[in-house]
Amino acid sequence: MSLEKLSRWLALTAIVALLVALVPMQLFAQDPTATPAVDYAKQRTKITTSAFCQAQPTGLTLKDITVGFSQMENNNPWRIAETESMKAEGEKRAGKYIATDAQAQTAKQVSDVEDMIAQGIDVLVIAPREYEGLTPALEAAKAAGVPVFLVDREAKGTPCEDFITFMGSNFIEEGERVAQWLVENMGEKGKVIELYGTIGSSPAMDRATGFRNVISKYPGIEIVASQSGDFTRALGQQVMEQLLQAYPDVNAVYAHNDEMALGAIQALKDAGRKPGQDVLVVSIDGTRDALQAIIDGELGATCECNPRFGPLAFDTIEKFLAGEPIPTKITVEDMFFTKENAKDFIEFAY
C-alpha cells in the first residue's frame, strides 16, 4: 500500500464521541482483590470510553500490508512473552511483519521507528519505553501517514491524531489492588519500601499513584522510601540491599513488577529476613517465577499484567482497516494471584 493512500486514509480519521446507547460501555465496579473465573492465558478487555477513532474502510486486509512492531527491550520474561506473542500473530496474519528491539534506550526506539518507516511499513505498533520521549517517533509516523497503535505503555499525544488507540492495563487499578491486599494482610500500621519502575514510564507513575490512593487512607502505614529499580531483578536486589541498611525495621515491600520483587526477596533472605513472614512482599505482572514465589510463601500477592498483546493488537488493526470505529483506549482486565489460586494458574504463566 502506498504512503499516499495511507495519508488519505489517516486524514479521514477523527475522534467520534458516540452515545452510550449506540456503543455500550462496560463500566462496572470490581472487587480490587477479585480473580475473574476465566482463562489466564488469554487477554480480556473492557471499553470504558465513549471516544472512538473513525476512518473510512481501506479495502485492504492484514495480508495486504506490512506491520512494524517497536519493542522497547527484551531483557525480562514479560517483554519476551510480549515479543513472542506479537511475532506469532504478525507472522501468521500480516503480509509482512518487522520487529525491532530498542534495548531499553528511548533514543534507539525513536531511531528504530524511523528506520521501519523508511522500510515502508504501513502500520506501526509501539510499546513505548517512556511517556514523553516518543514524540519524535510519533511525529515521524504521522508525517509518513503511518497509523500508530500503542500497546502496554502510553505515550504523550492525542488519540486519533498522534496514535489510534492505547491497548493496555489500568496501571492505577493494579496499584490499588495490590495496596488493598497489603492493608488487609499487614494491618493498618507498618513501614513500606517501594521499588519504583522505570522513571518517566506510564506504568511506574500510575502504579505509584494507585498504591498511594489506598495507602493514604491509613495514616499508620508509611512509605519510608521509594527508589527506582528500573523494572529489573538485579537492580531491584541492589536497591533493596541498600534500603534495608537504612530501614531495617521495614514491614513490607511494594515492587512495581515481579522482577524487582524477586530481587527484593533475595536481598531480604541474604539479610537474614523472612520474606512472606516478617516482611510482606507484593508486586505486579503475574510471571511464572512470581507465582512460584507465592506458592513457596515468599511473595504475598501479584496483580496480573498480561503481556500477550498479539491477538488483541492484530484484531484491532484488522477492524481499523475495515473502517470500524476503534475505542481510543482498550483496557485489559487483570487477574489477581495469591496463595489461594497461584497453583491453579502457574501452568499458564510465562
Average pLDDT over residues 244-265: 97
Mean pLDDT, the chain, whole residue set: 89
CATH code linked to domain 171-304:
3.40.50.2300
The C-alpha atoms of residue 264 and residue 258 are separated, in whole angstroms, by: 10
Maximum Cα–Cα distance for the chain, whole Å?
64
Contact partners, residue 313, CB within 8 Å, separation at least 6? 86, 89, 125, 149, 151, 167
The C-alpha atoms of residue 307 and residue 127 are separated, in whole angstroms, by: 11
pLDDT at 23: 36
Chain length of the chain: 350
Average pLDDT over residues 266-280: 97
pLDDT at 47: 84
229 pLDDT higher than 50: yes
Residue bearing the bigger pLDDT, 171 or 23: 171
* pLDDT per residue as tens digits for the range 177-210: 999 999 999 989 999 999 999 999 999 999 999 9
In the structure grid, which three cell numbers stand for residue 323, read together? 473502517
282 pLDDT higher than 60: yes
20 pLDDT higher than 70: no
Average pLDDT over residues 138-160: 96
144 pLDDT higher than 50: yes
Residue bearing the bigger pLDDT, 99 or 19: 99
32 pLDDT higher than 80: no
25 pLDDT higher than 90: no
Average pLDDT over residues 14-42: 42
Contact 227, 244 (CB under 8 A): no
| Residue 17 exposed, middle or buried by CB count within 10 Å (0-12, 13-18, 19+) | exposed
Q: Where are the domains of the chain?
A: 3-169+307-333, 171-304
> Please, where are the H alpha helices in the chain?
3-11, 77-93, 106-118, 135-144, 171-186, 202-215, 233-246, 258-270, 288-295, 310-321, 342-345
* pLDDT per residue as tens digits for the range 283-297: 999 999 999 999 999
pLDDT at 28: 30
How would residue 5 be classed by pLDDT, with cut points 50, 70 and 90? Answer: very low
How would residue 9 be classed by pLDDT, with cut points 50, 70 and 90? Answer: very low
* pLDDT per residue as tens digits for the range 318-340: 999 999 999 999 999 999 999 99
CATH code linked to domain 3-169+307-333:
3.40.50.2300
29 pLDDT higher than 60: no
Long-range CB pairs of 2-9 (<8 Å, 24+ gap) are 3/120, 3/144, 3/145, 3/146, 4/145, 5/58, 6/122, 6/144, 6/145, 6/146, 6/147, 7/144, 7/145, 8/145, 9/55, 9/56, 9/58, 9/145, 9/147
How would residue 54 be classed by pLDDT, with cut points 50, 70 and 90? Answer: confident
pLDDT at 198: 94
* pLDDT over 70, % of the chain: 88
* pLDDT per residue as tens digits for the range 98-135: 999 999 999 999 999 999 999 999 999 999 999 998 99
Q: What is the SS3 assignment for 327?
A: strand
- Expressed in angstroms, the distance from the first to the final Cα of the chain is 36
Q: What are phi and psi of 340, to 5 degrees?
A: -75, -25
3-169+307-333 and 171-304: identical CATH topology: yes
DSSP codes joined into one string, 238-282: HHHHHHHHH-TT--EEEESSHHHHHHHHHHHHHTT--BTTTBEEE
Contact partners, residue 92, CB within 8 Å, separation at least 6? none
